[in-house]
Chains A and B, each alone.
Chain A
Amino acid sequence: MSLKLFTITFLLCLGELQAQIKDLSVSQISPELILNANAVLRDDQTTIEVDASNKMTIYKIRSVTVMNEYGQRHVQAYQYYDSERKIKKLKATIYNAAGKEIKKYKQKDFKDRSAVGSGDLYTDNRVQYLDHTAQSYPYTVVFESETKTGTTVFIDPWQPVSGYYLSVENSSYSLLNPGQIALRKEELNFEQQKISKNITPTLLEYNLKKVPAYKMENLSPVLDKFVPMLKVALDEFALVGVIGQASNWLEFGKWQHDNLLMGKDKLPAATLHKISQLTKDAESEIEKAKIIYQYVQDNTRYISVQLGIGGWEPMLAEDVDRLGYGDCKALTNYTKALLDSQDILSHYAIVFAGEERKDLDLDFASMQGNHVILNIPLEEEDVWLECTSQTMPFNYLGDFTDNRNVLLVKPEGGEIVKTKAYAYTENVRETFSKIKLDNSGSYTAEVKRKSEGIPYGNIYHLIRESKENQVLYYKNHWGHLQNINFQQIFFDNNRDDRRFIEEIKFSGQKLTSKAGNRLLLSTHFFTTPTYNLNRSTDRKLPFEIERGYTYRDVFEFQLPENYSTESIPEEEMIQTQFGTYKVKLEAGEKEGKNTITMVREYILYDGIWPAELYSEFYAFMNKINSLNNQKAVIIAGT
């Protein structure tokens, strides 16, 4: 006990001393750390003292020199708190560029507000934050906080390089574990960096010095994939008063199941009866599951209330049944309970949701994820359900939760599996257009477009928009077409096949431009979606395309009366390891009129490629961009 006290006091004193005696003037920063840096992490000390498996204290000192306005976000002088996590100390000191102290903020000077996010109705989380106006740049903020919490299932990880354009002068992390509670740790991306460490049965200590800022580059992978990170988890832990023990995903999943999930699946008899009636004629499990999912979509909506332990466990299924709403946990658990009632097995699945893919860490069991979906392991295939959406088709995840590790919380324990990946062959967008031109450049067009896979998820919402907004959508989407007027907008949302079909008729002007007595016709009626990339001579990071696509287009132009084709662009075919692009034009005749038909196919693969190949990819995109400007020449007479 006395030893523990001594160590802490010693460390804290050291911390205080360092925070004060360090010369914070900007001239002390070495030049390589200034390069590309919007902010410099001068000194960052996290000390976590684990007093017991349900008690810990977190001390933080974070000194950040802000080089310019873009560096403000790295200051991070805020502290979240709630009924579990109490703030014991909070202060900040501001220094000017010369390292001279210019202002002090005590805890009462921090602003306090609710931490309700845009998607929440209510949460008991609050935040105290520093509201400081910079007088000039650069300047330095030294932020100090001390918090105590009984929830030990989350231990702050150590990630010194927490963003682009942030360089690190000194960062250290210590975890004091005098009770020697069993713990696990994972060191990620340590290879590239010089990290010093000191590990004893009661202490973990890490230190990193002098890491220059990373510059953001087009398509670079998420930061987590290449910057160092230390994760720590206790094998004995507590979550808002619920204690647990786990050292792997099997045990961790089991704990979640038994403590947070089990027994929340009871449903009123009336609902059970209704569901039995609705599904009684369905022939297969998948048919029944479909009916149940539709029932959930028709009778619930997403409302998020996060209160205490309620932030981590679902509401009772019977409450969702009565109220008709819930958050992702509640709606998933409710759907699962309805499926259970028809003897259809399903699993609660925890995931990191977001368009930017993020996996649950297969090798490190801890509290992870920010969303819950439902998995139904059917014989034919695994079905995945997003239970918070009232409009998504059955078994469609889209880019919110596709292709990533999730934790299935099963009665027998946890299991990490991967959600559905949408291959480039499934992410298809096809158009077929007939365009009739007249000699003034005006035209009428009939367009049919089909979207499947990821493109489906980006378009199907259009059907629910007002007519006015639909028209505006197309006018913006096809902004390169002038003065267009719509004669028909028709949609077919095939939810069973997850396919969206648009049939659009419109007229417009100035598709051709005049050049003397000839007309120039831009043959790429719609252009292909390419990446607009920066030329880069000195690429540092690899580049990643998270999802592949297939785009096929046919444009059939009917030329104006008495016009014929003078020239058409040549056939092009590009094959690269990133994808392929083909375009072919043909002049012909149909129903007594001259025509030009263009067939185009563009495939982009998903993958991750080393920095050296970037210029090749850049060239590929550039080639496509310039082909987008192709023109045919048509001429009157003859």
Chain B
Amino acid sequence: MSLFSYLYRAFLSEEFGTLAVRYLWYFLLIGLGIFFLALVRRKTSRGLTKGRVKEKCLLLRKLLEETLEAEGRKIGKSAGHKASVNPARMAKLRGAAEEAMWTASRLVDERRDLVFDGIAGSLNEIADLLAEAESAFADGSETEKSLREALRATDSVVERIDAAMAAAKDTDE
């Protein structure tokens, strides 16, 4: 009897087909799992840079400036007690602050950039400020005060990010 026929007789049987299918299925799952793990890791880390955090902060600053400008125009049109800012607008501002804070937090978690831990903390305070201003009990003057404070804080955060980026550039050089 040849070796091949021995091996054939040793391994091939009716059950072998079923077993092979099961093994194939598990190896497929393992392969898919590893593929998706790598994909998820790549997707969560993609675009996670200091520049991205700065972009989010600049967007927040732009929205704050636009809101304050719009409120300024509203005051010019009507005298007397100021109405609150449009709630949808406030929610958008808060969302922008939270998005910037989330990006900064991810930079701290994924890239271990501890400088951005303080920046994430400051952005969290800005989001808290905007959330309070969004509350139903805040009147127009309080809201405007909160928006101006948020704008000042955002400018300060952008300066800190610029400083961190400049420091990182010097270190690389």
A is bound by B: no
Q: Which residues of A contact B (CB under 8 A)?
A: none
Write the residues of chain B forming the contact surface with A, with a CB cutoff of 8 angstroms. Answer: none
